[in-house]
Amino acid sequence: MKSSSTKTFHYSRRTFIGAAAASAFSFQFLPSKVFGANERLQVAGIGVGGKGKGDFDGLAMHGDVVAACDIDSRRLDVAVRKHVDAVKFSDFREMLSQLGDKIDALTVSTADHSHAPAAMMAMRQGIHVYVQKPLTHTVWEARQLALIARKKKVCTQMGNQGTASDGIREGAEYIQAGGIGRVKEIHAWTNRPVWPQAPQIIARPTDKMDVPSHLDWDSFIGPAPMRPYHSCYTPFKWRGWLDYGTGALGDMACHTTNLAFMGCGLTQPTKIESVNTGPINDETFPSWATVHMDFPRTEMRGAIKFHWYEGKIGNNGKDNKGIKNLPPMDYFHGETPKNSGLLLIGTDGTVYSPNDYGSDWKVFKDGKWYKKDEVEKPTPTLPRNGQGDNGMKEELVKAIRENNSKIAMSNFDYAGNMTESILLGNVAMQAGGRFTWDAENLKTDRADTDQLISKVYRSGWEVDPA
């Protein structure tokens, strides 16, 4: 393994005894490390370019930076300009092996396929983690991260930043209080993909390219099968490739369905079906897809039909034309659908969020649309943050300091459940047809879909069961 480490630290993480006072949430636990009110966190970041830089900077506001890791040395140099004592790495395994005992909390904002290997290695060392959405690359990985977080008693947060907004929490309370009656259907959509994938790309490139001097290609490949470098994979363009990304569903559903998961208490679906999906290939996600899921009734609510729509139906890649894949227009009651959004259809009305993050929403009742500030809201039951993306980091730090993982509302119990459900849609796209899901045993009723619940890892990059 190649390292770009240039400094060595000789101090260890300090351990404190005792626990802080209870927070607004009832669930409490004894973490692996307890902080005093004024204790400085020792933080690090894995994947600190692009969105990762915002995550890294947001957490760094709450502590002292020990180390940073990125496969691109140019992005890494930019990220650590303000942190002169930070040790730089291109391979997160080396960073965690050498400095793991000096890191209290870190961000993971790599390509999707490396989320689980990095987060799992960190949590096994008792490090609190902030991981970008989607939490993982596969359904099985999402379950393992949730399990190891509980086992190691660490605080966690997934980066679906709308979770911290006041608007989504008000919307969740309104839905929970029966504002639109019993929710029967959920419809979510996105205009994505907006990156290269099918139908423009359905096979690997054949031309050869030299690996740029600033890029650690081996570390980008990480747990995936090795292949030659090409500029079509990174940065950002990895999202459409099956080996590295999770497509439009993985990219956006952790945002657009967040209000539904929070407001309806969605658990795991029992039936998943791909009903209208573009041509499938072995390398990238399809150009368009529609997925249906059945969420069974619980003690708190009735059964719910869930529907996901992405891309443009009939897009042949020549002119990027096609029919926008959207819910039935009748459900909008005259509203013009935005490029992405969410509809919750209830027995007494409809909630429509035209916002990626669920922070803005309106209600259709009695033949009229009402803005969220025009409806009667229940007594608040959720704490307010109102700080958006940085509020997510603040809540994670508060969770760490108060020894209460539930303060971070997109903790891995919540985010793991959401990610498992969402990624089952990708399984349906790839395999086609319909299958049933046994969430307790992580099993389907088909051999081909079972194979897509997990994956084989490249040697040295495995994710072991929790």
How far apart CA 22 and CA 403 sit, in angstroms, is 8
How far apart CA 135 and CA 132 sit, in angstroms, is 6
Nearest to 310 by CA among 285, 344, 346: 285
Whether the per-residue pLDDT at 27 is higher than 50: the answer is: no
Residues in the chain: 466
166-204+214-386+419-450 under CATH 3.30.360, yes or no: yes
- pLDDT band for position 386 (cuts 50, 70, 90): confident
Mean pLDDT of 213-238: 97
The identity of residue 325, as a single letter, is N
Q: What pLDDT is attached to residue 4?
A: 39
Which residues, at least 6 apart from 313, have a Cβ–Cβ distance to it below 8 Å?
276, 278, 288, 322, 323, 324, 325
pTM: 0.92
Mean pLDDT value across the chain = 92
Nearest to 236 by CA among 3, 47, 77: 47
Q: Which two tokens stand for residue 148?
A: 């190891």
Can the peptide bond before residue 196 be classed as cis, meaning omega within 30 degrees of 0? no
Mean pLDDT of 100-114: 98
Q: State pLDDT tens for residues 281-337.
A: 999 999 999 999 999 999 999 999 999 999 999 998 777 789 999 999 999 999 999
- pLDDT band for position 36 (cuts 50, 70, 90): low
Q: Which two tokens stand for residue 437?
A: 């899901």
- SS3 at position 257: coil
Q: Which residue has the tokens 């290609």?
A: 217
Mean pLDDT of 122-147: 98
Q: What pLDDT is attached to residue 369?
A: 98
Q: State pLDDT tens for residues 345-365.
A: 999 999 999 999 999 999 999
Whether the per-residue pLDDT at 261 is higher than 80: the answer is: yes
> What is the phi-psi region of residue 187: left when phi exceeds 0, alpha when psi lies from -120 to 50, beta otherwise?
beta
Q: What pLDDT is attached to residue 43?
A: 98
Q: Taking the CB of residue 333, how many other CB atoms lie within 10 A of it?
A: 12
431 to each of 274, 282, 316, 385, how far by Cα in Å? 8, 11, 21, 41
Mean pLDDT of 7-20: 26
How far apart CA 440 and CA 434 sit, in angstroms, is 19
Q: State pLDDT tens for residues 145-160.
A: 999 999 999 999 999 9
How far apart CA 239 and CA 241 sit, in angstroms, is 6
Domain boundaries, the chain: 41-162+389-412, 166-204+214-386+419-450
Classify 41-162+389-412 by CATH class. Answer: alpha beta
Q: Which residue has the tokens 């985010």?
A: 415
**Beta bridge partners of residue 323, listed in sequence order:** 313
Q: What pLDDT is attached to residue 321?
A: 85
Task: Please list, residue by residue across 98-107, b when 16 or more beta carbons sit within 10 angstroms of its beta carbon and e when fewer do.
Answer: bbbebbbbbb
